[in-house]
Amino acid sequence: MTPEAKLRPAPLSAPREVLALWGVSFAAILAAYLVGANLAKLVATASFLYLPLWAMRRRGEDSRDYGLSLSSWRADLRLYLIICAVVLPPFFAAFAFWGPFLDHLPQEWARALSPLAGTGHFHPRLPHRFAEWVVDQLLVVALPEEFFYRGYVQARLRDAWPRGRLVLGARLGPAFFVTAVLFALGHLAIFKVWRLAVFFPALLFGWMRERTGSVAGCTLLHATFNLFELWLEASFYGTL
């Protein structure tokens, strides 16, 4: 063994590497949030984009190996439309029910479960500067998060834990579920317990990633879910 090889650090196992980079991103976002929410968002975007790229380059890999590709755009678009048709109508109904339900809970519980409470009245309206929200949710929020979690984290964990069961054409194993858990826990960097609810859409994003091999579809779905919720908040409560 050459002296250079002796000095070279041994590569981390996939789960240890994932947890290390997840921990770095979580700590950076948490520290930035203590300064300001806007800074936390900037740090999150940078962390989610560049930490995986750094790890890939160390191994001589390409971002396309981690789903950053439009090669399966037809399948992504088809599944995106199906999921939206199935999920968004019941989500609308649940949102309309959720506010009145929170009214019957103690105030501290309601605040922990949702940023909104009270009975809203539906008047369809778009949030102010909606076009800016579209760009923000697609390129600043959804794409970095999906590249990090579904692209990098889920793929690296799958390297360590390749087994799983076929569910509607996608093989789902430990990597799929651990990624959804890390995604939910990562949202606690902004001290809001209700943010753990992102675990459930994360299951859809992860399934779509496994089904098509790309993060394009789950990025579009992620942004759509966020924008749909913003539209509901504006329409029921006049926020934004």
Model pLDDT for residues 16-41, shown as the tens digit of each residue: 999 999 999 999 999 999 999 899 99
Mean per-residue pLDDT, 175-183: 97
Query: What gap in Å lies between CA 95 and CA 100, rounded to an integer?
Result: 10
Distances (CA, A) of 92 to 3, 123, 177, 220: 63, 13, 26, 19
| pLDDT confidence bin for 112, thresholds 50/70/90 | low
For every residue of 21-58, DSSP letters joined together read HHHHHHHHHHHHHHH-HHHHHHHHHHHHHHHHHHHHHH
| Cα gap 69→57, rounded to integer Å | 17
For position 135, what pLDDT does the model report? 97
Q: What mean pLDDT is predicted for residues 93-121?
A: 74
**In terms of DSSP bridges, do strands 165-167 and 170-172 run parallel, antiparallel, or are they unpaired?**
antiparallel
8 A C-beta contact, residue 143 and residue 219? yes
8 has pLDDT over 80: no
Look at residue 10 in the predicted model and tell me its pLDDT: 45
The pLDDT score that the predictor gives to residue 5 is 35
> Per-residue pLDDT for 194 more than 90?
no
pLDDT of 232 reads 93
Please check the confidence at residue 2 and state whether its pLDDT lies above 60: no
CA distance 23 to 19: 6
- At residue 7, the pLDDT reads 37
CB-based contacts of 40, cutoff 8 Å, min separation 6:
29, 30, 32, 33, 189, 190
Rounded CA-CA distance 165/163 in Å is 7
Question: Quick one: pLDDT band at residue 3, thresholds 50, 70, 90?
Answer: very low
Cβ neighbours for 215, distance < 8 A, ≥ 6 positions apart? 66, 67, 68, 143, 146, 147, 150, 151, 209
Confidence of residue 119 (pLDDT cuts 50, 70, 90): low
Mean residue pLDDT across the chain: 89
Q: What's the pLDDT at 193?
A: 81
